[in-house]
Structure 1
């Protein structure tokens, strides 16, 4: 695609969403300024090889964010939630909110013309029901964007299909979670979030001021396990983790699982496909990338078990 001549700043650029957004922005002709705490790491090197400008910045350090955003047209904002890979053990919800607010303040100070914030589906239901902490955190950041009057787009993805590629969901030869076996869970591919973020930046008149939930499929854990088993050619039973076990680790994690079991995200999958007709269902994602990632993880897990 023809270069736009404009720069988009991507926060969390070496993370799951940041990498997908960066890839789609570069493919769409944007210049990308990829922010990372570790510019010398392998993930940053891969982004640089793809054509991104790598800039060191800390979400905790407002001045570094302002410096990084100067002269850019747009900014993609995403923060880790409690328990996200790579976060410090003491990382908490207040840290997430502060980081999100810092990025919003940096966008205002730098005169960013379009900010796209990755929130979470259901965050806007704060008035009608009690929400898990991760949804409350995202809603507070959304409210700060509104308070500042920023030209913003809010994307609210559901759970990621990529969650099924590692130890979070694959343990002891089974698929595990706290979701009841017969409760449908909405899921989406991170790559599709990246596509829609790039689309939003390319159509500011259509997207500034807009908030939309994103989902590509809805399956029970038993169905998810069955699809994975078929795709990788080996059995993968589903095992539910008792809620008491989750609660013993973290009360908020337990509440989040209870919320998913009883209420769920309620995103409109048909609406997502109107935006992005090629949005992947779970079987398509498995065929394209998921099955290979899951197989590689299970093989490595098995090898470690044999070496132990």
Structure 2
């Protein structure tokens, strides 16, 4: 990175969330000028970013004027929106809300003359899945393409960090999951999503108009449980949750899980990604550097 590129502003939306936060921290570590968009500039996460050198700006993805102000002078924009159904979101928040917010960010980036938009989509968004959680992201991708905004699309698989959450992973000392024991599930560390965003901003000519499915490892649920067991020294069994239990809460969630159990999506070419980013973490790497202490804390509560 040259001094000129390090001084260029990168606007990061969702800067206090999972992907946005990881991206902001990576860009700051790389010496970038990060403008972090958040609704609350006084939150602990926002204050931590400011302490690390980020420029905080208050804004809302539903408020186009605030996005235009935040994007003014930005060389690049990182765009991420919450997926409906995620824990902590209002029940009224749905796919159309996600699409509106994603389009707002893209439009603001284009109006500001940003050179590159990096959009955090999701694995499978380019397939005809019939799942609203993926269709919303495909609609955002299509809008970015339709307005001619120079962009790189990142489509991450399951986050390794989500295995720490009882909804998707560790629950009552076990790896509780609706995925079958032979399902090959792919994972990516949040830090690696951030690394690919940083690569795109560092070399926009190389990454512009490209989409990347992202994964760092491929594991079956029993293999995942065994890896956690080895890392923590505490037995973590794999417990299969019947799909009907998921279906009772959400038919769409059950269909999404069934599609992975059936193996309808091609696996991500991890070695191709590692050629671009040699530091790409396997699940074992992530446990060593990030996950083991957090799993141990959960197992001893």
Cα distance change, pair 5–140 in 1 and its aligned pair in 2 (3 A): same
Aligned residues: 297
Aligned to 1:291: 292
In the alignment, structure 1 residue 104 sits paired with structure 2 residue 103: no
Q: CA separation in 2, counterparts of 1:139 and 1:286? A: 32
1:133 CA drift (Å)? 2.2
Structure 1 partner of 2:88: 86
Distance 1:109 1:265 in 2: 36
CA apart distance, 1:2: 6.0
Matched, 1:176 2:180: no
Name 1:60's counterpart in structure 2.
Answer: 62
Note the alpha carbon deviations across 1:104-134, whole angstroms, 9 max, x for none: 11112211111000111222223xxx34322
2:76 matched residue in structure 1: 74
Counterpart mapping for 1:178-257 below 5 A: 178-257=178-257
Structure 2 gap ranges (5+):
none
Structure-1 separation of matches of 2:299 and 2:40 = 28
SS at match of 2:254: helix
- 1:95 corresponding residue in structure 2: 97
Over aligned residue pairs, what C-alpha RMSD do you find?
1.4
User: Aligned partners of 1:285, 1:226: CA distance in 2, in Å?
Assistant: 14
Supply the distance in 2 between the matched residues of 1:167 and 1:124 (Cα, whole angstroms). Answer: 28
CA deviations on 1:1-43 (whole Å, 9 max, x unpaired) are 7642110000000111111111111122210000111211110
- Who is 1:155 aligned against? 154
Tell me the CA shift for residue 83 of structure 1: 2.4
Is the 8 Å Cα contact of residues 217 and 281 (structure 1) preserved in structure 2? Answer: yes
Over 3 Å off, 4+ runs: none
Determine the C-alpha separation between the residues in 1 that align with 2:287 and 2:87. Answer: 22
- Deviation per CA, 1:171-225: give whole Å up to 9, x if none: 1221111110111101111101111101110001101111111110000011001
Aligned to 2:163: 164
Please give the TM-score of this superposition, normalised by the length of structure 2. 0.95
SS in 1 for 2:291: helix
Look up the match of 1:306. Answer: none
The whole-number CA distance in structure 2 between the counterparts of 1:85 and 1:195 is 25
Which residues of 2 match residues 29-40 of structure 1 at below 5 A? 29-40=31-42
Cα offset, 1:85, TM superposition: 3.7
Distance 2:252 2:17 in 1: 23
CA distance in 1, matches of 2:175, 2:294: 14
1:13 aligned onto 2:12: no
SS of the aligned residue for 1:8 comes to strand
* Structure 1 runs not aligned, ≥5 long: 303-308
TM-score (norm: length of structure 1): 0.93
